[in-house]
Amino acid sequence: MPAPMISIDEISKTLLKTAQHTLETSTRQEVTYSSTIQRIPKVSMKPDLTCFVQFNGDYNGLLVINFSANAAFEIYKSYMKAMGMPKDELAGTLADPDVSDTIGEITNQIMGQMVKEVEDEFSLNAVFGQPKALTINSSITLVIDSDYRENRRLSFKIGNYSFRIEIAMEHSEFILI
């Protein structure tokens, strides 16, 4: 029998590729990720713009994407330009609701693709809610009313700007039969 795989690590590997592909497709910019997945003690929402969404089903967890103002604005501008929005109609500040709406939509696309990939590879199903994006000034550590003991951080770059995905999941193993 094949060795069990810790589910959060498999989901994290899927997320790296899914987020990269989704962002490159939607922004038409190169997106890179670190080859290191970090184990972290807890998941936090961090300034300047954060987006979070819970997922549940055959596997359960919480995903948080943390953007600096520059990274969020770069993704927003590139996404809107790729969709044909004229430059003079773009939002001028991070506080504009169009920016958080766009980040929420991109997070929705990343989650949709991740859930599909996990279902295709492991025959496991999950659903997720509507991602919530908001601007914040200081870090907020999340205490989830679930047994999400496993936490990971994934690091990305778009252009010269970094952003991170943090994921919390219940401890479980995928055992292929």
What 3 state SS string does the chain have?
CCCCEEHHHHHHHHHHHHHHHHHHHHHCCCEEECCCCEECCCCEECCCEEEEEEEEECCCEEEEEEECHHHHHHHHHHHHHHCCCCHHHCCCCCCCHHHHHHHHHHHHHHHHHHHHHHHHHHCCCEEECCCEEEECCCCEECCCCCCCCEEEEEEEEECCEEEEEEEEECCCEECCC
**CA angle, residues 138, 66, 103, in degrees to nearest 5:** 115
pLDDT over 80 at 135, yes or no:
yes
Mean pLDDT calculated for residue range 68-89:
95
**Domains along the chain?**
7-170 (3.40.1550.10)
Mean pLDDT calculated for residue range 23-45:
96
Mean pLDDT calculated for residue range 149-154:
94
pLDDT over 70 at 1, yes or no:
no
pLDDT given for residue 4 in this prediction: 73
Mean pLDDT calculated for residue range 138-152:
85
pLDDT given for residue 2 in this prediction: 67
**Residue 91 phi/psi, 5° resolution?**
-60, 150
pLDDT over 80 at 41, yes or no:
yes
Q: Report the predicted TM-score, pTM, of the whole model to 2 decimal places.
A: 0.93
pLDDT given for residue 111 in this prediction: 98
Mean pLDDT of the chain: 94
Percent of residues, the chain, with pLDDT higher than 90: 85
